[in-house]
Amino acid sequence: MLASFINCFKIPELKKKILFTLGIIVVYRIGCYIPTPGINGAVLTEYFQRMATSGAGSIFDVMNMFSGGAMHKMTVFSLGIMPYISSSIILQLLTAVIPALEKLAKEGQAGYHKINQYTRYGTVVLALIQSFFIALWIKHPSTFQNFEVVSKDAGMGFVLTTMFTLTCGTLLLMWLGEQIQERGIGNGISLIIAAGIIASAPSAGRTLVLLLSPSSGSGSQLQPLTLLIMICFLIGVIISITLITQAQRRIPVQYARRIVGRKVYGGQSTYIPLKVDTSGVIAIIFAQSIILFPATLASFIPNQTFRHVAGFLQRGDFLYYGLYGLLIVFFCYFYTAIVFNPHDVADNMKKHGGFIPGVRPGAQTSEYLDFVLTRITLAGALFICAIAIMPDAIMASFKVPYLVASFFGGTGVLIVVGVMLDTMKQIESHLLTRHYDGFMKTGHIRGRR
């Protein structure tokens, strides 16, 4: 594998793409340390650290992970690329329910560019809305337990400045991701998210060292045997995510032979790849946003009744795990139903003379595909539940901060493994085109899509 990485820099075109991608990532990481005007980032970071030790959880933890730690410092990239992702998901869902968008999506490249334009407009709207409420939240010191994050005379000018800064930061990230997509290697948006997650690894490692170090008057908070068990968990999680990410159920398809004039069409055999994990990380994002929303509101609203109700959904409780798992399973099925329509697939196969051996074309083919997809999606959903709950279980069982526990499962590992698979697949395709060996001695890397 090391020889394959060295070969990457022997191909001028591939070398240029890799260096360009790394340069964009460096620009992104620099922007994560540029503070938003009028905000005391050090005080805000201290406040978020105290919230993390409480174990209550907040939707800002999710936003901080996707922004590469910029949210807790309130820098220009605090919103990260999440508004763009949210806008993309919303447009994708609307495409399935609005006939005009569905028709536009079937127009090929022109329709794709039009939907992408709508996605950008939606990104601006979502970024403005999110930054507006964040600015209002920061203005009120009562929500920060006497932490002075901004000056007391901050008015509407501060709100407008924060909205403009954070929205422009999101749009710049969106543009950087598109530049990687066009001139670099890999999926630009996904690489930016993965780079932000990996950037928090040194902080997690430093926290682990402090936990292993003996504290004053007592032993270390984390025993070496416990650390060894956690490392075994990490290795097992990475291997299992890799297997499930690439796992697929192949439905054989046979096309009838047609003779048109002197030419013979069809007659070949192929297959329909049904992925075990179609939704990927999207189901976890939706479930996390919903289950952490009450705890986040409870930290904003000084109402004891509301906080008591939100207190039922705390990390470490069986009710939290049960509801979290049910939400993940629901969104796995929901997203799979949106992106894969068995009825459309069956109709297209029937129009082109394709059929599944032993299954009649048309309605029976649609029912068969739905039957298979429902069962393999359940397996993928249960696996995603286990991966998503693992950081919370590790945090509650081994008494480690969430920053450390998040690297032993959850959304972060799922994203990083998937992005690395996609990127390595693209690099391997360049190597094989130039008659170099790939990363594997037998077979080839298969990405998520």
The answer to whether residue 59 scores a pLDDT higher than 70 is no
- Looking at 1.10.1740.10, 1.10.3370.10, 3.40.50.720, 3.40.50.1000, the CATH number of the domain 11-199 comes to 1.10.3370.10
The answer to whether residue 28 scores a pLDDT higher than 80 is yes
Confidence of residue 216 (pLDDT cuts 50, 70, 90): very low
* H-helix or E-strand spanning residue 252: strand 248-255
Q: What is the pLDDT of residues 148-181, one digit of tens each?
A: 667 666 678 888 888 999 999 999 999 998 898 8
- Residue (of 406, 420, 417, 423) closest to 69 by Cα position: 406
Segments of 263-422 assigned E as strands: 263-265, 269-275, 354-355
Confidence of residue 147 (pLDDT cuts 50, 70, 90): low
> CB 50: neighbour CB atoms within 10 A?
12
| Fold matches, 11-199 and 218-409 | yes
Q: What is the mean pLDDT of the chain?
A: 78
Question: What is the spatial distance between Cα 54 and Cα 43, in angstroms, rounded to a whole number?
Answer: 17
Residues 66-88 as b or e (16 or more Cβ within 10 Å = b): bbbbbbbbbbbbbbbbbbbbbbb
The residue count for the chain: 449
The average pLDDT across 232-261 equals: 82
Per-residue confidence (pLDDT) for residue 308, from 0 to 100 = 57
Per-residue confidence (pLDDT) for residue 204, from 0 to 100 = 76
Lowest mean pLDDT among 61-70, 138-147, 199-208, 326-335: 138-147
> CB 167: neighbour CB atoms within 10 A?
23
| pTM, to two decimals | 0.78
> CB 61: neighbour CB atoms within 10 A?
21
**Which residue ranges make up each domain of the chain?**
11-199, 218-409
The average pLDDT across 361-380 equals: 89
Spatial neighbors of 398 by CB under 8 A, at least 6 apart, are 222, 226, 230, 405
Q: Which fold has domain 218-409?
A: Preprotein translocase SecY subunit (1.10.3370)
Q: What is the pLDDT of residues 79-130, one digit of tens each?
A: 888 888 888 888 877 887 888 888 887 787 788 888 888 999 999 998 998 8
Spatial neighbors of 199 by CB under 8 A, at least 6 apart, are 29, 32, 68, 69
Q: What is the pLDDT of residues 278-318, one digit of tens each?
A: 877 778 777 777 776 666 665 555 555 555 555 555 665 67
Question: What is the spatial distance between Cα 145 and Cα 44, in angstroms, rounded to a whole number?
Answer: 11
AA letter at 252? P
